[in-house]
Structure 1
Amino acid sequence: MKVFNTVFIIVLFCCQPVLMAQQHNVEKEKRKLAQAETMYANMDYRKAIELYKQVKVTDKEQFVKLRIASSYKNVGDLQSAEEWYRKASSKQLPVEDQYAYAEVLMSNGKHDEASEWYRLHAQHAPDDSRSKSKLAAIANLSSYYEKKDSYEVQLLNINSSYSEFGVSFLEDGIVFASTREEVAPKKRYNRTNSAYLDLYQSKYDEDGNLGAITKLGKNVNTKYHEGPAVIYAGGNKMIFTRNNADAKVKEKDHKLVSFQLFETQKDKKGDWDKPRLLSFGEEKYSVGHAAVSQNGKLLYFSSNRPGGIGGTDLYVSENLNGGWGTPKNLGDEINTEGNEMFPFISGDSLLYFSSDGKGGLGGLDIYRTSLTSQQSVENLGAPINSEKDDFAFVLHKEGNWGYFSSNRPGGIGDDDLYYFSIKAPQPKLPPEPEVIPNDTIIAEKPEPTKVYVVQILALLNPVTVHKSFLQDLEGVVKHDGKDGFHRYTYGEYEGLEEALESLEKIIDKGYSDAFLRRIERYSELSKGPGKSVDELYISEAKKNAVF
């Protein structure tokens, strides 16, 4: 017994350094994760990514992967974001990450994969309208390209390799926000690793082209952000977005800096006087992206103030006795659980804005609606919208040209300014009458082309579902997808009306996730041709038969 106790004590003392080293490593990893979380909370996503990639805490593995994916999404690297969401999706994703992954896939042009994740999110968050809107858009993507020939879009030559966005009209040019200044590392904004936003102006030359670029006065620009502006009252008044300097909050304190609206007007010399904070601004939330009606009485803006519907909503404030009144939310016809921002008012009646919560081509899309009639919200479609972020649309008072901002491929910097013009519709010529000679033999009509199928299920389980699960449906086909999903389809239809009738019957049978998809898409999604479920049952029966 004494020998055993002696050996035990020796082993115990030998193990202590190992245990202490392991505990030290655990504490070190926890500290590293805490540092990464601090950077993430402070929107310093690039540094956060570096730190998260060094963390090796097993029980936090999926959490860390999702943080990396979200960080890449926030800095606009959607390819890397997709890669890390895919790594994290080996386990079931949290509900909000299901939606975020779908958004990344949509912006990367992978509509079918996005559809599966939107559908999954819709199941887990039935009260959230976003995924339902996105699924409806994917099912009808071709409609967003119907007006692509109605616009001419050009990249502006005043763009830099940095970010430019948010145009407002001057009589002789434009004002816009940019990070184009080259600054020292200590003066850079952590999230983008670039200079802080300032307001710039560019004037038209004799040929109507935008020329030399200059900063607005020192009363307007500070060492922090000055964002989009709206200029009104004949070019004498301006409301713009700025970091709330009165909040005295610095980035190094790891706190979120709020944005507020400031107003200014030109003095007798034509310079902008000292800006004043609008009365309804508070440090606890952000207010920005101002738009003013033509008569100067209504102010529209975006805010994450309490009581909204989503992340940021659109609000309106009325000018009463020289001051702006209590803001009113524009309601759920316009606002969603996502983000609505960058409003613009055309002729006091048409509202243009950007949203990532409604159905569209991907990212932020530009929409319009009437403020005076029961007109539904309309997506402007391509080429104004793309699979990336499209926003800050403004229309000149002439009504047939303007500007918008986008981070679409083919630009020069992060966000770029684009000019657009609306083409005049060409008159349609009457069709020539069809003349058929008497001796012409009219060929028989070709067999109708099958276009649509009803997708009933999309499962990650490769095992063929039990026959009872398919109820009395005949002719069900199973498609083994390249992305790991196993899709089950029913029927083939030539026309949309017939397909919709069949879809309604399928849903009535309890297949609430059923939807329409074009047959041709399965050749892209699947590893090979679909297989009849009935034949799969027969094959499995033969395989398991006892002779």
Structure 2
Amino acid sequence: MKKIQSSIILCFVTLLTLQTTVNAQYVLTEADQQYTLYNYNKAIDLYQRAYQKKATLHAAERLAACYENQQNYIEAERWFATASAMPNSNPVNTLYYAQALQSNAKYAEAKLQYSKYSAQNKELTEQQKNIWLRSCDSAIHWMKNPTEITINNEKHLNSAQSDWGATKNDNNVVFASDRNIVGKNKQTAHRPFLKFDGAKTPNRNVYGWTGNGYFRQYSQNGSDSVKIVSIKTGTAYHVGPPSFTTDGKTMYFTLTKIPEDAVYEKVKGAKDKVATVNVQIYSSTNGTEWSSPTPFKYNHAKEFSLGDPFVTADGKRLYFSSDMPGGKGGMDLYVCEKIAGGDWGLPVNLKEINTEGNERSPAVDEAGNFYFSSDGSVGMGGLDIYSATIVAGKIGEPKNLGYPTNSPQDDFAFNKITKDAGYLSSNRTGGLGDDDIYSFTLTTPKKISYIDPVLLNKEIRIENIYYDFDKWNIRPDAALELDKLVQILKENPTIWIVLGSHTDSRGDDAYNQRLSQNRANSAVEYIINRGIDKNRITAKGYGETRLLNRCSNGVKCSIAEHQLNRRTEFTIVKQ
């Protein structure tokens, strides 16, 4: 009887386990469909249910991605931490975890995760690694040394949802908002695309990515209430913020329309065919009312996005962002110039400032200074705002505007209305909703400095210094790099540095500690012999205590892997 009872119980447990697995898989499939359609609100609920039934890496990764896309960085950090620690996790989860930590201003922890990912990814360039680490160090420095600028949340303009892209037209402040839907859902308001279910048109009231309404233009005149801008756009979906010509009679903005010839394709995870609908640029003129929008000459709604239009005061240049083919990264910045007949010339890629990341929200002030946002350069996290001068049509070297113009989250749509005041948008901590509109007022400019010599007058890249096995003499390749540092120290007499030397794991631990100190001393001596005050340099030997990869004691590694750990790294500790 006990055997029979045991068999019945075993059978019941097996069936229950099987049923749970099947149910979890069904919920996961439904979640994947919503994820594919960018319906992140629905996907989050389904992935959480699936994870509760069965804790899978896939569900954890997707939850993290959903929260990251909705800019809920606290939850994104939690789920990327979970995913990166699970068995068979892809190393890229470590990178995403680092980025989430950075967005939450946890810079020291972010550096550890960036270093961990760098050791996991052998194809990663030293340049990219340096950008990540310098970003964390620079953010800490900027927050300790804020610039002379006053930032205020424009509470009379903002809502519990997303409000961004403020500009002026006469006495009206005009911006974009998705405020009409009750509820507060973290989201990405300035994404360049939508994806819809081909079986039916999208919900005309709710945007699945965020759970909020679609974007519309709003305006406020003085102390009047915020009102929707009356314009016959011909779309029930997104309408972006405008950029006006000087006379206020023409505006450029973005629309999201479903083309009549939209191509619907089968996408894995979706029950029905879907079509990707890209944001495009339109213009409208104002007589007695705003005219029906005219599409920009270079729109290709089925192929790529065009967004963030900005027309210069003279109306001769139109800057915008796009992911069109031939770019350098995700979203690149382009400019078109007016040609004979009033038409727009071909788009020109702004190669001087575009990166492998995303560049957004271009703008030019009355003095000819160029502003934009990027997540591909040294910054505090997410999109940071940068400035550059324009001389003879050429854009100079971009400079990060520092803190508090920038924050660990997304900062964009920087727009000077007067010489020293204007608006910017940000989803920084402490806002009323998702993206908020902030006003800024500049006071006495303050020099922005990086915790890296890259912005100290010249672009000088400092590489790590490597040594031969069991040696501490300065190799010719190392001498070249040390000479660069000598030049920086001569040109910037207030800089103090620490040279930290590291060994690989081969040999006795105590011996390696002495060897690393000898190597650090050797590098310092080289620099002092070239005329640098010894009080400005400190030598520090770390031995094998800070390995960059898996090659610890007893682990079999290649010569190249051991070589990576034999290095001297420079840290600027005072400027």
Instruction: Give the TM interval when normalised to the shorter protein.
Output: 0.7 to 0.9
Matched, 1:82 2:77: yes
CA distance in 1, matches of 2:11, 2:143: 69
Residue in 2 that maps onto 1:120:
116
Residue in 1 that maps onto 2:40:
45
Candidates 212, 229, 236, aligned match of 1:216: 229
CA distance in 2, matches of 1:304, 1:357: 15
Residue 116 (structure 1) shift: 2.0
Does the aligned pair in 2 maintain the 1:352–1:393 contact within 8 Å? yes
Residue 257 (structure 1) shift: 2.7
Candidates 233, 247, 251, aligned match of 1:238: 251
Q: Deviations over 1:334-366 (max 9, x none)?
A: 222221111111247422111112111122110
Residue 224 (structure 1) shift: 0.7
Does the aligned pair in 2 maintain the 1:164–1:177 contact within 8 Å? yes
Residue in 2 that maps onto 1:388:
409
Candidates 31, 34, 52, aligned match of 1:36: 31
Distance 1:186 1:339, change over 3 A: same
Residue in 2 that maps onto 1:228:
241
Matched, 1:411 2:398: no
Letter in 2 for 1:112: A
Residue 274 (structure 1) shift: 0.4
Distance 1:375 1:95, change over 3 A: farther
Distance 1:349 1:218, change over 3 A: closer
CA distance in 1, matches of 2:539, 2:134: 13
Distance 1:289 1:322, change over 3 A: same
Residue 111 (structure 1) shift: 0.8
Residue 405 (structure 1) shift: 0.6
Distance 1:67 1:18, change over 3 A: same
Residue 145 (structure 1) shift: 4.3
Matched, 1:280 2:319: no
Q: Deviations over 1:129-163 (max 9, x none)?
A: 54421212323345424762511111113212221
Residue in 1 that maps onto 2:132:
134
CA distance in 2, matches of 1:334, 1:94: 31
Does the aligned pair in 1 maintain the 2:21–2:54 contact within 8 Å? no
Residue in 2 that maps onto 1:103:
99
SS in 1 for 2:130: helix
TM-score (norm 2): 0.70
Residue 61 (structure 1) shift: 2.1
Alignment: residue pair count: 461
Matched, 1:197 2:232: no
CA distance in 2, matches of 1:45, 1:274: 32
Which range moves more in the overlay, 51-60 or 225-234? 51-60
Q: How does 1:262-411 map to 2 (within 5 A)?
A: 262-267=282-287, 269=288, 271-282=289-300, 283-320=302-339, 321-331=341-351, 333-347=352-366, 349-372=368-391, 375-396=396-417, 398-411=418-431
SS in 1 for 2:173: strand
Letter in 1 for 2:414: F
CA distance in 2, matches of 1:405, 1:115: 27
Residue 95 (structure 1) shift: 4.4
SS in 2 for 1:359: coil
Q: Deviations over 1:450-476 (max 9, x none)?
A: 99573859xxxxxx9554588744297
Residue in 1 that maps onto 2:56:
61
SS in 1 for 2:242: strand
CA distance in 2, matches of 1:63, 1:515: 38
Q: Deviations over 1:419-453 (max 9, x none)?
A: 11111469xxxxxxxxxxxxxxxxxxxxxxx9957
Does the aligned pair in 2 maintain the 1:455–1:517 contact within 8 Å? no
Does the aligned pair in 1 maintain the 2:151–2:439 contact within 8 Å? yes
Bigger Cα Rg: 1
Does the aligned pair in 2 maintain the 1:199–1:221 contact within 8 Å? no
Residue in 2 that maps onto 1:150:
148
Letter in 1 for 2:205: K
CA distance in 2, matches of 1:99, 1:319: 43
Distance 1:452 1:126, change over 3 A: same
Distance 1:334 1:57, change over 3 A: same
CA distance in 2, matches of 1:348, 1:399: 8
CA distance in 2, matches of 1:138, 1:14: 56
CA distance in 1, matches of 2:510, 2:260: 61
Candidates 259, 278, 285, aligned match of 1:258: 278
Distance 1:291 1:29, change over 3 A: same
Residue 222 (structure 1) shift: 3.7
CA distance in 1, matches of 2:273, 2:220: 36
Distance 1:421 1:315, change over 3 A: same
Distance 1:77 1:495, change over 3 A: farther
SS in 1 for 2:240: strand
Residue in 2 that maps onto 1:454:
500
CA distance in 1, matches of 2:58, 2:181: 36
Structure 1 spans left out of the alignment, 5+ residues: 1-10, 205-209, 427-449, 458-463, 478-488, 520-547
Residue in 2 that maps onto 1:498:
537
Residue 25 (structure 1) shift: 5.5
Distance 1:455 1:349, change over 3 A: farther
CA distance in 1, matches of 2:127, 2:358: 13
Residue 31 (structure 1) shift: 3.4
Residue in 2 that maps onto 1:167:
166
Q: Deviations over 1:64-96 (max 9, x none)?
A: 211111111111221111111111222464344
Residue 374 (structure 1) shift: 6.7
CA distance in 2, matches of 1:472, 1:190: 57
Does the aligned pair in 1 maintain the 2:135–2:379 contact within 8 Å? yes
Structure 2 spans left out of the alignment, 5+ residues: 1-5, 184-202, 265-269, 447-495, 525-532, 549-561
Does the aligned pair in 2 maintain the 1:130–1:359 contact within 8 Å? no
Residue in 2 that maps onto 1:420:
440
Matched, 1:474 2:469: no
Distance 1:512 1:108, change over 3 A: farther
SS in 1 for 2:310: strand
Q: How does 1:503-518 map to 2 (within 5 A)?
A: 510-511=564-565, 515=569
Residue 46 (structure 1) shift: 2.0
Does the aligned pair in 1 maintain the 2:98–2:109 contact within 8 Å? yes
Letter in 2 for 1:511: N
Distance 1:228 1:22, change over 3 A: same
Does the aligned pair in 2 maintain the 1:139–1:517 contact within 8 Å? no
Q: Deviations over 1:367-407 (max 9, x none)?
A: 111232573210001111111211110012x3110000111
Residue 63 (structure 1) shift: 2.6
Residue in 2 that maps onto 1:539:
none
Q: Deviations over 1:45-67 (max 9, x none)?
A: 12212222233699982232111
CA distance in 2, matches of 1:12, 1:495: 80
Residue 34 (structure 1) shift: 2.3
SS in 1 for 2:180: coil
SS in 1 for 2:346: coil
Letter in 2 for 1:137: S
TM-score (norm 1): 0.73
